[in-house]
Structure 1
Amino acid sequence: MSSHHLFRSREAAVPLVLAVCAGVGLLALGTRAHAAEPGGIQLSGSAALASDYVWRGSSQTQGDPAVQAGFKAAAANGLYGSVWGSNVEFAPQTHASSEFDFTLGWAGQVAEHWAVDVNVLHYRYPSTTTDLDWTEFNGSVTYRGNYWLSLGYSNEALGSKQRGLYSQVGARFPVNDALRFEAAAGHYFLDDVYDRSYSHGQLSAIWAVKASASKANVELRLTAHATDRNAERIFGDSLAGSRIEAAVQASF
């Protein structure tokens, strides 16, 4: 999500504890994750600890660490549902301290080298003094698993009552089985919300570690983020601009 505007800014405490508990639970499920359940449903999950929660170029935690966890259930026909959560810190008056993202979608191969993912994503912020919740329609096309184009549209962008369109292009560059680099550039069309739009870019180095004992995959990630001046005008210098994010994530 995003702490970009005055009607979305945040704070953290109890949800952070809940997220930690969820992460511990995910780690405990390591040996059962990705197993095919009765009815052809595959379950997977992830837990992460990050030095910052950066979303579309800007910090969602005022530069503070974030604990995150998620679950996904996918059917053999490509339909899936997922829930993901993180602590956040927006403007103090909103009293927002947690974010939960609920997704329903379909993903699958449409040609030999092409894959598509279309979904509806709902951002929810419990226990806030104002209505920050909003919904976005997303679609992405991936080529050979390493190059992608994504679009996200909402008529209530960032919790407003206005339209917003987000676009991103990205590429993945594997060095070997353990190391890869990823680069992405995005542009968020927010003229209806802020009378301006902004661009951002990011570059990541990701090291994958096989944790055979727990059958969980662990990734260490270091990402450099940068935004243009419009993002700083919208969200402030402390949330946008340049920043480095480090994270460790376990998936199973």
Structure 2
Amino acid sequence: MFKSCVQRLLTVSLLMSSVSVLAEEATTSESIPAITVAGSMAMLTDYRFRGVSMSNRDPAVQGALNFSHKSGVYLSLWASNADVGAGGNVEADFFVGYILPITEKSFLDINYADVNYPGTIKEYHTDFSEFGVNYNHSDLMKGGDYFTAGVFYSPEFAFKSGKEIYLNTSYKFPVYKNIKLVSSLGYTKLEDNEQFAKAFGGDGQQDDYFDYKIGLGAEVLGLNSELVWIDNNIDSDANIMKGTVVFSLTKQF
């Protein structure tokens, strides 16, 4: 069942990349406008979130629009085609947050995400909200690298599956010219096996799982490209849970 693939929040790379740029500008320049508008468009061979396909292993087109105030407050809209098995074929998310600079190269991103699947059957309760805190640091061990670590909490996760906690860390490391190693590791925990099965299916023997991503990224002709392997350890034979190679192209504007 596609109940197992309903998830979404701020750590999507489209949103984080544009917010990160705005935060860096805010810490290094006093002449930026009061409100900055940025956005992105992306094409992917599969919309994967936390190791699970949200597009039934089909290609996806995604867009983000971000409004950032120089005080650190921001508002973001994000959308993608999606297939969560409850009717509807769109995901439309709303984010509000605050960027708190720590040093010139690091900041905290404190945020709230409202995740929506218009057109889905109401009785499935696909929509949910989530709170998050992300630590971001550029040039941590080498110039051009980027490190993040975050924790997220939902008081009522998708399909009314109860409390959910998600931990994530990611790291991009330059390996040759504009080519970077791209990696991430995540951990999802629900209250118990029964609640986990509501959200992710399976045989009811799990209440948590790990997901990871490893591959390469590069900027080519003004486009950010990634070729990565994404997988998880969810005990399920569902096709959307199986690991896969994902290629993506993203344009920031």
Question: TM-score normalized by structure 1?
Answer: 0.77
Letter of the 1:64 partner, please give it: D
Find 1:61's aligned residue among 55, 63, 66: 55
SS in 2 for 1:239: helix
Deviations 1:48-73 (A, max 9, x none): 11100000001001100101111000
1:112: how far off? 4.5
- Select which of 96, 117, 132 maps to 1:138: 132
- TM-aligned CA deviation for residue 204 of structure 1: 2.9
* Partner SS, residue 212 of structure 2: strand
Q: Taking every aligned residue pair, what percent have the same amino acid on both sides?
A: 22
Q: CA RMSD in A?
A: 2.1
Within-5 A mapping of 1:43-62: 43-62=37-56
Q: Which residue of 2 aligns with 1:203?
A: 214
1:1-252 matches, within 5 Å, as 3-5=2-4, 8=6, 40-91=34-85, 94-130=86-122, 131-144=125-138, 146-176=146-176, 178-192=178-192, 193-194=195-196, 196-210=207-221, 217-228=222-233, 231-233=234-236, 236-252=237-253
Paired residues of 1:226 and 1:241 also in contact (CA < 8 A): yes
Matched with 2:23 is none
Q: Kindly tell me: are residues 80 and 88 of structure 1, through their superposed partners in 2, closer, same or farther at Cα, counting changes over 3 Å?
A: same
* Secondary structure of the corresponding residue to residue 90 of structure 1: coil
What is the alpha-carbon distance in structure 1 between the residues aligned to residue 3 and residue 229 of structure 2? 19
Give the Cα separation in 2 of the matches to 1:143 and 1:164: 26
Counterpart of 2:153 in 1: which secondary structure?
strand
Contact 2:3–2:159, Cα closer than 8 Å, also in 1: no
Further displaced range: 116-125 or 241-250: 241-250
| Contact 2:111/2:131 (<8 A) preserved | yes
Deviations 1:192-235 (A, max 9, x none): 4215110011013111124xxxxxx411111101111xx243xx
Q: After superposition, what is the alpha-carbon deviation per residue over 1:163-182, rounded to whole angstroms, capped at 9, x for unaligned?
A: 00000112110235522112
Q: Which amino acid in structure 2 is aligned with residue 167 of structure 1? A: L
Q: For residues 158 and 177 of structure 2, what CA distance do their matches in structure 1 show?
A: 37
| CA drift at 1:241 | 2.6
Q: What SS does structure 2 have at the residue aligned with 1:127? A: coil
| Runs of 4+, deviation exceeding 4 Å | none
Structure 1: segments with no counterpart, 5+ residues? 10-37, 211-216
Q: Which amino acid aligns with 1:182?
A: V
Letter of the 1:246 partner, please give it: F
